[in-house]
Homo-oligomer: A and B are copies of this chain.
């Protein structure tokens, strides 16, 4: 990035930075945009490959300039191999009266995802081992997959399962498993530095709203916003199938991974649960500290979870040979809300308000990362005389001090060139934006200056 022409791609125009944008836009209103996109994507039958996934990516690319990539069946990606592409047009179970007692047209969750094609007559006893239901939630259809094991099955509500009568059934799955490709989308939004922030969402679940689509749609809205801003970091958005998708993306981007400074895996961002942040493998990355501080300052309940190699695609980003500083920021965690991986994870579970709150959290975290710089106090011996610069109240003797002034005193006290704003925020518990504002005021009065950047362009 040394060529003068592309060094600061966003610096010469009139774009605003993230801190300014956050203070100006009406984030609440953006929840509806995200909701609308979820609603449009909801009916498609996605899987880890196939046209449902491909079509979803195309819809997203109407909103942001997403690049759609295709990796052919059989390609080796680390320890894995891109599987045959799966497509499905219809599936059903008919009873002796030729009534569709289970019908893919009514819900794409009725078919075990990646089922092999079949057309056969079976007795109820023969059929039962291929049926999946949830006795503990008798009205909900479970979501099941058989990606890497040739098999077939149907999912149905336990109520419907119990209503099946003895007799003969005709089973039909009009699916194909053929040489094809795995699709994923990516978008790079350039910033001043070529250091990157990775933002990932999985997009392989069929009609599931909170798990998968809320993350996809929120990242789409976020990318659309960042596209218009002056940015310090370069942002790399990836929307891909879970596991095989992130593994494939990693295997094709190995040389670029060293540029990733921070990252988040996004999903489950529309339900009523409070925010949950799952830490990176090392648990002490800047992203861990930034998200924790933002959540602490939010005033809302939240929970910080330890890393575990079970969950979403952070499992791949945090594998020992990749080891990226990538955390996961969701509302409810995976598997921890009752509707997870069932037909109840539908458009009634997600709300524009929750989506907007989630977006605000993402923006606050990114704003923290964008602005988290280190300063040097230019009058470090004793306190500088703030009063003569109009930065201190004129009368003395009061018992307390305004938080704005305390923010300035702390920035002065800790700005010895080794501590960033986030360091100060963590030590003091003062709101990050208040400290950032204080730093800017002190810079204007030549009491602080930016310490030399340790890394970056």
From A56-64, A185-193, A393-401, the one touching the partner chain is A393-401
Closest to A148 in B: B387
Chain B residues, Cβ within 8 Å of A396: 144-147
A209-263 at interface with B (beta carbon < 8 Å): 243, 246-247, 250-251, 254
Q: Which residues of B contact A394 (CB under 8 A)?
A: 146, 148-149, 151
Is B385 within 8 A of A142, CB to CB? no
Residues in B whose Cβ lies below 8 Å from that of A315 = 383, 409, 413
A381 at the interface (CB under 8 A from B): yes
CB of A309 within 8 A of chain B? yes
Does any Cβ of B come within 8 Å of A321's Cβ? yes
Q: For A412, list chain B residues within 8 Å (CB).
A: 309, 319-320
Cβ contact of A144, chosen from B80, B247, B397, cutoff 8 A = B397
A225 vs B409: C-alpha distance when bound (angstroms): 37
Contact B309 A410 (CB under 8 A): yes
A399 contact from B148, B153, B340, Cβ within 8 A = B340
B145 touches A382 (CB 8 A): no
Question: Is the CB–CB distance between A395 and B310 below 8 Å?
Answer: no
- A382 pairs with B148, CB closer than 8 A: no
CB-nearest residue of chain B relative to A410? B309
With A246-B382, A315-B409, A321-B382 already in contact, 18 other A-B pairs whose C-beta atoms are closer than 8 Å: A79-B382, A112-B395, A145-B396, A146-B395, A146-B396, A151-B394, A251-B381, A281-B413, A308-B410, A309-B409, A309-B413, A310-B409, A319-B382, A319-B383, A320-B380, A321-B381, A322-B381, A341-B398
Residues of chain A from 52 to 82 with CB closer than 8 A to chain B in the complex: 77-80
A308–B429 Cα distance when bound, in Å, is 12
Whether a CB of chain B sits under 8 angstroms from the CB of A135 is no
Which chain B positions have C-beta within 8 A of A254? 381
Question: Does A268 lie at the interface of the complex (its beta carbon under 8 Å from any beta carbon of B)?
Answer: no
Whether B144 and A415, one on each chain, are in contact in the complex, defined by CB atoms closer than 8 angstroms, is no
Number of identical monomers bound together in the oligomeric complex: 3
Pick the contact of A310 from B149, B340, B401 — CB < 8 Å?
Answer: B401
Residues of B within 8 Å of A154, CB to CB, are none
Report A380-422 CB contacts with B as 1/0, cut-off 8 Å.
Answer: 1111110110000011111111000010011011111000000
The total of chain A residues at the interface (CB under 8 A) is 64
Question: Is A318's CB within 8 Å of the partner chain B?
Answer: yes
Our pick among B142, B335, B415 for the contact of A320 (Cβ within 8 Å) is: B415
Query: 0/1 per residue, A285-325, Cβ < 8 Å to B?
Result: 00000000000000000000000111000011011111100
With a CB–CB cut-off of 8 A, which chain B residues contact A10? none
A379 CB-CB contact with B under 8 Å: yes
Query: Which residues of chain A (79-97) have a CB below 8 Å from chain B?
Result: 79-80
A320 to B146, CA, bound (A): 61
Q: Let me know if A364 is at the binding interface, CB within 8 A.
A: no
Tell me the complex Cα distance, A320–B414, Å: 7
**Chain B positions within 8 Å of A388 at CB level:** 148
Which residues of B sit under 8 angstroms from A183, Cβ to Cβ?
none
Sampled A-B contacts (8; CB under 8 Å):
A149-B387, A246-B382, A308-B410, A309-B406, A310-B406, A321-B381, A323-B416, A335-B400
CB distance from A206 to the nearest CB of B (A): 11
Is A184 an interface residue, CB under 8 A from the partner? no
B320 adjacent to A397 (CB under 8 Å)? no
Expressed in whole angstroms, the Cα–Cα distance for A250 and B382 within the complex equals 8
